Amino acid sequence: MNKTTNIKEQILTQIMKIIDQRIESTKQAIEYARESRDNETKCSSGDKYETGRTMLNFEREKSRMLLNKTLNTKNDLSQINIHKKNDIITLGSLVTTTNGNYFIAIGIGKIEVANAIYYSISLVSPIGKLINNRKVGDKFKFQGKEIIILVIV
């Protein structure tokens, strides 16, 4: 395994840990909302009882939607081939620019690997849209700075 593939693997592993933590906390929120709803005692005011149960059901449904989205994201990440060499920037690319290092996956932000900083970004982020499908040597402007793509792996 070469050094770059190892870095991509370490970054992806850290991202997956973050996603797994989100999945677990969302599952806990769903369970908490279910327990709270089931433990809601009917007081003398029926409307207050029903409003409370409705709000808890709403929170539970919102958490379920978030869980599904996060599970889909995890599935998408599992499709990334870290061994693939890219000539243009696409999902799974590790990109070195004059402005920093980027791993194209999802918008997680700053990740430290091998004493270097990498930013996990999505292709729909502002900078992701600008660098998508570019190649080594291409230049673009982001936040008033000219940035040059130095390496794509």
Q: List, for residues 113-131, the tens digit of each pLDDT value.
A: 989 999 999 999 999 999 9
56-86, pLDDT tens digit by residue?
A: 788 889 999 999 999 999 998 998 998 888 8
**Residue 90 or 3, more confident:** 90
Strand ranges across the sheet with 109-113: 109-113, 116-121, 100-104, 94-97, 145-152, 139-142
**Residue 50 or 36, more confident:** 36
Report the C-alpha gap between 121 and 60 in whole angstroms. 29
Report the C-alpha gap between 38 and 32 in whole angstroms. 10
Of the pLDDT bands very low, low, confident and very high (cuts 50, 70, 90), residue 53 is: confident
Q: Is the predicted pLDDT of residue 1 greater than 70, yes or no?
A: no
Pairing of strands 116-121, 100-104: parallel
Report the C-alpha gap between 103 and 108 in whole angstroms. 10
Q: Judge whether 111 and 129 are in contact, CB under 8 Å.
A: no
Q: Report the predicted TM-score, pTM, of the whole model to 2 decimal places.
A: 0.81
Q: Is the predicted pLDDT of residue 3 greater than 80, yes or no?
A: no
What DSSP state is assigned to residue 73? H
Q: Is the predicted pLDDT of residue 52 greater than 50, yes or no?
A: yes
* pLDDT for the residue 23: 96
What DSSP state is assigned to residue 40? P
**Which residue stretches of 40-138 are H helix?**
46-78, 126-131
Residue where the block lists tokens 């696409």: 90
29-45, pLDDT tens digit by residue?
A: 888 888 877 776 555 45
Q: Is the predicted pLDDT of residue 47 greater than 90, yes or no?
A: no
